[in-house]
Structure 1
């Protein structure tokens, strides 16, 4: 039987699920009331995530078994430092996005807030699930909700990008099911802790089939994380949707990165026998190419939204360089950079939305146009976010990249990794400088326009403020993230929490 506090683990999934249903059934024609309920529930989600984060801080891995069915037969949710950190990040980001949307963006189509809450359900469920099949289920919830959010507001460009997005994700879903089927056929289980015990015991004759299943799952996770050459769907999708939807999508690429950490650190980690680190040789090279492609695309961007989309690709390349080391130093540096890149990327998309509204016919195209109302404020926010994303001092992007550069010092190819990371940063500096000069410093005569709405601006200021806090707290946060990384790679603690201490001793890493 789960302890009372452990039962809080299901709330981050239940809250948005029940809220979405309530909004559709009871408030579908009352946008103002939807806003109020959605904001209130998201604030509550932040509180729940903060409690769970504090609860995970004692270093104990906790499992919640739905219906009190024992693992591996029932549905299990698992809370550790890693999932708690990403839950809190998701909730904080969601609060900023829903406040921005309440400034008017949610009124340009139907059902923004129910879709937003369903999206939260899929994301939080993916971070908490202890089962590979349920990971697939939550991926599908994210896909359905994100497709609705992406098309919110309509338009032919959005519809075209949405078709590409759905096509690639449906294909990824098929691959996911095939991979899951192969793994289940060989091991007879899909519970991650049970897999971590059984994978090292797989007969040699079945190892090749199991490895195919593992690599198929990697293809799916790499698609979600926008690793080259599976990244092509992201620029059109993120640049083609609304600003709040794109900002919320920042956490979706991190779900792909999280799945790589969880599955290939736990199930196919160092203790997995012949299948140990099955995907490791693929991650680092693909991450470096992803970083280079993102930086090149950023320099060639013609709109601010395109620039933001390629900045996401570049940041995912940088993040997966750290994750691809599959050690505690790389993972802790990657987690610091993950939080930074999520907040900074979301802020950039929201700024792009404000710029698009203020520039009229010029939209967010990188061409000269009349000066905007609130240009000084928007230009200042853009400048701070650009510094953060490029990785220039003194903000958290600089600290995150320094941590990653230090973590890769033990890799054989570290000079090449340093050269690509630093070279990409130089290219990105040029791209952001060009965009900023055109949008804010080479504008034409002032034209009377309304100032940007207060609530969306406050949301952006809040995200930039969080970047400043993340920078100032780098010392103690780094210590916490080192513990988080060590726990995420500790297979025995996870197995013991889900299957019981006796199984943990039997698995004994």
Structure 2
């Protein structure tokens, strides 16, 4: 049994407890523990993703209870990639946070690690109810993080965020109860088998459960019409928190991919591909409204929040295409958009700190003290998120556009995705020119950007270039990942054929 599979859950859990007990201790101690932990998590995530290169699926049965009766964690290419993406984002977010964005008594570091525990658990769990449990863990942590730093705007947006997610959690429990009442199991692999063999009499309840889950995951992913909680929540959060939140929508997208390829995928009998008729139009509308919001935004951080919604719409469109090439492009673009949107939130904070009372409003204001440096980074970040060549966003979008199969899909995807990209160019051009060129003849009284924080942003933005330069091996990995994910029998066989470690073969067992 590979105990490394549980490390992404245990390490942040233990770190969070240790940091919580040490609240109020010297900040250097808190920072050291937090940063050492995230380095360890990044190393574990790297080991997990390298371990899946050959196509192996690792099943970890907690308490040595064999599935489907016990709780299992499953490490395949998809879950390993998601854990790695979250670890990289958390590494740079905490790097930025320790550059004077944290305080001794605010518990930022401990709550971030509790959030990571929930995020990693959601990616690794093979059980539908434990997916709900890990959702709740990360949501509780996110409620606290959203209020980090205080302020009326954060409290107001936090209230909306909490209420909507409480409603989503209630629907999740209802959906899980419906599916359990029909299938008698919560193990996702076992449920996939039961759904595929369901009788016509069971189909209505299974359909209700499947569509309720789509509503829940759509809320988590910020899919239209359930996206309105995101812009203000992300725009009002502190910079490292907003950057970390870029992984939150991807958890909803991951759940859609996992559940609607495994349980309600092509081999689900009468319920096969039940989500696809809904995903396609909702994806295109999400993409269009996200771009419209970015164009209409009058605050830089709010504009970036709408760019997150644009990425959600783009990713949903790739999922809705429902083929291996599209899923490969989707996952490549998912990694790109998560890291670059995170970098944009951090960069926006550096810009805001040098604009005085004007803050992040996209209006004429005092000149930014480091206009050339920050303006250059803003240009690179904008090119990356728009998808300009040769950066990774261009590769991801090109792969996705090439994956459309029918004429109708090709027409609508090309039209809306390219139009949205044009709108994003217009929006970000307006923001950049207003902030860096159309300025007053004075410079706001502000310190230069902290070198460490600036370096964190530069390194995050360089990931877009790295994904381009390493495009061939990364794309080959996402292609293999998509093929594995679109073949649910591989996951089902790995989980249901898993044998518990026998007493005779357990470490330390006595032999005759």
TM-score normalised to structure 2 length: 0.95
Q: Which residue of 2 aligns with 1:51?
A: 47
Q: SS in structure 1 opposite 2:353?
A: helix
What whole-Å deviation, never above 9, does each CA across 1:445-470 have from its counterpart, x for those lacking one?
34253101112111101101111101
Q: Which residue of 2 aligns with 1:475?
A: 472
Q: For residues 205 and 163 of structure 1, what CA distance do their matches in structure 2 show?
A: 41
Q: SS in structure 2 opposite 1:106?
A: coil
1:416-495 matches, within 5 Å, as 416-447=412-443, 448-495=445-492
1:182 aligns with 2:178: yes
Q: SS in structure 1 opposite 2:298?
A: coil
Q: For residues 166 and 180 of structure 1, what CA distance do their matches in structure 2 show?
A: 21
1:17-416 matches, within 5 Å, as 17-107=13-103, 110-410=106-406, 412-416=408-412
Q: SS in structure 2 opposite 1:232?
A: coil
Q: SS in structure 2 opposite 1:51?
A: helix
- Runs of 4+ with >6 A deviation: none
- The number of aligned residues is 498
Q: For residues 108 and 167 of structure 1, what CA distance do their matches in structure 2 show?
A: 29
Deviating more after overlay: 359-368 vs 101-110: 101-110
In the alignment, is the contact (CA less than 8 A) between 1:257 and 1:320 conserved in 2? yes
What whole-Å deviation, never above 9, does each CA across 1:112-138 have from its counterpart, x for those lacking one?
001100010010000000001000000
Q: SS in structure 2 opposite 1:393?
A: coil
Give the CA deviation at 1:236.
0.9
TM-score normalised to structure 1 length: 0.96
Q: For residues 467 and 221 of structure 1, what CA distance do their matches in structure 2 show?
A: 27
Q: Which runs of 5+ in 2 are unaligned?
A: 500-512
RMSD (Å) for aligned C-alpha atoms = 1.3
Q: SS in structure 1 opposite 2:60?
A: strand
Q: For residues 469 and 255 of structure 1, what CA distance do their matches in structure 2 show?
A: 24
What whole-Å deviation, never above 9, does each CA across 1:439-496 have from its counterpart, x for those lacking one?
1122223425310111211110110111110111112211111000011111111111
Q: For residues 198 and 364 of structure 2, what CA distance do their matches in structure 1 show?
A: 63
Give the CA deviation at 1:26.
2.9
What whole-Å deviation, never above 9, does each CA across 1:304-353 have from its counterpart, x for those lacking one?
00110000001110111001122211100001110110111001111111
Q: SS in structure 2 opposite 1:77?
A: strand
What whole-Å deviation, never above 9, does each CA across 1:189-212 have from its counterpart, x for those lacking one?
010110111111112111100110
Q: Which runs of 5+ in 1 are unaligned?
A: 503-509
Q: For residues 494 and 213 of structure 2, what CA distance do their matches in structure 1 show?
A: 24
Give the CA deviation at 1:109.
6.5
Q: For residues 490 and 284 of structure 1, what CA distance do their matches in structure 2 show?
A: 21
